[in-house]
Structure 1
Amino acid sequence: MAGDRLACRECHAVVDPDEEVCTICGSSSLTEDWSGYVVIEHPEESDIADEMEVDTAGSYALKVR
C-alpha cells in the first residue's frame, strides 16, 4: 500500500489518508485494504481506464476489498 493512503470502494480512486470523502466520486466509503496502483493521465486514450470504467485522470487501486 502506498504510504497508508486510502482507496474508494466505489471508484477505486486512491486518496490521502486525511480525506473523508473520495475526491473523484464523493463517496465516503474509503478503505485501507487495497492493493495494486495505477496512474491514469489520459483516460480517453487508455485501455486500462476503459477496462476499469475510469473517465477522470488520477491514481487508482487495482484491487479494493
Structure 2
Amino acid sequence: MATNRLACHDCHRIVDPDEEVCPYCGSNSLTEDWAGYVVITHPEESEVAEKMEVTEAGEYALKVR
C-alpha cells in the first residue's frame, strides 16, 4: 500500500493518487487525510462491511477526515 493513496470522503474507497474523481461513486472529494485500511472481500458476510454500510468488495479507509 502506497502512503500517498487517496480516500474518497463519500464512499471511503481507496484510490490511486492520480485520480481526480472517485471511479466507484463519482465524487471529486478525495483526500490524503485518512487512517485505517481494510480490505473487504465478502461484504455480505462481514460485520465491518455492515457497520460501514459497504456492499461491494474492495479497499476502504476506516476514517476519512
TM over 0.5: yes
**How far is 1:26 from its partner?**
1.2
Matched letter for residue 56 of structure 2: T
Aligned counterparts of 2:61 and 2:2: Cα–Cα separation in 1: 10
Cα root mean square deviation, aligned: 1.3
Contact 1:24-1:56 at 8 Å conserved across structures: no
Counterpart in 1 of 2:5? 5
The answer to which of 47-56 and 1-10 deviates more is 1-10
Number of aligned pairs?
65
Structure 1 consecutive aligned stretches of length 4 or more whose deviation exceeds 6 Å: none
Counterpart in 1 of 2:41? 41
Structure 1: state its 5+ residue gaps: none
Counterpart in 2 of 1:24? 24
Give 3-state SS (helix, strand or coil) of 1:55's partner.
coil
The answer to which of 1-10 and 47-56 deviates more is 1-10
Structure 2: state its 5+ residue gaps: none
Counterpart in 1 of 2:15? 15
Aligned counterparts of 2:52 and 2:41: Cα–Cα separation in 1: 14
Percent identity at matched positions? 72
